[in-house]
Structure 1
Amino acid sequence: FKMSEVAARRLIETNIFQKAEVVFVCPDSPQRPIREAVIRMEKTLIMATPKLRKGFIIIKPRSVPKGLEWKASTIRGAFKYGKLVNIPEVPIDLKVTGSVAVTLDGARLGKGGGFSDLEYAILRELGLIDDSTPVVTTVHDVQIVDYIPMTKHDVPIDYIFTPTRSIRTNVKYEKPKGIYLDELDKTKIEEIPILRNIISYKLRNRKNYNSAY
Structure 2
Amino acid sequence: MGSPGDGKNEVRHRVWDLLAEHGAAPPDVHGSIPNFVGAEAAANKLAELAIWKAARVVKAVPDKPQIPVRVLGLSQGKLIYLAVPKLAGAKPFYELDPANLPVPPAEAAIPKVAATFARTVDTDEMPQVDLIVCGSVAVDRRGARLGKGAGYADIEVALLQEAGLIHEATPIVTTVHDLQVVEDELPETSHDFSVDFIITPTQVIECGPSRRPEGILWSEIDPAKVAAIPALALRAAQRPPIE
Instruction: Please give the TM-score of this superposition, normalised by the length of structure 1.
Output: 0.91
1:70 is matched with 106
Distance 1:170 1:91 in 2: 22
Q: Which amino acid is 1:138 matched to?
A: T
Distance 2:39 2:168 in 1: 27
Instruction: Please give the TM-score of this superposition, normalised by the length of structure 2.
Output: 0.80
2:220 is matched with 183
2:84 matched to 1:49? yes
Deviations 1:63-122 (A, max 9, x none): 114x61100000012112321113342110000000000000111011000000110011
Give matches, 1:1-213, under 5 Å. 1-54=36-89, 55-65=92-102, 68-87=104-123, 88-145=125-182, 146-171=184-209, 174-201=211-238, 203-204=239-240, 207=242
Q: CA RMSD in A?
A: 1.4
Q: Number of aligned residue pairs: give it.
A: 204
Distance 2:46 2:96 in 1: 20
User: For residues 142 and 133 of structure 1, do their structure 2 counterparts lie closer, same or farther at Cα, with a shift above 3 Å needed?
Assistant: same
Distance 1:161 1:141 in 2: 9
Gaps of 5+ in 1: none
Q: Which amino acid is 2:61 matched to?
A: C
Gaps of 5+ in 2: 1-35
* Moved beyond 3 Å, runs of 4+: none
Identity of aligned residues (%): 40
2:32 is matched with none
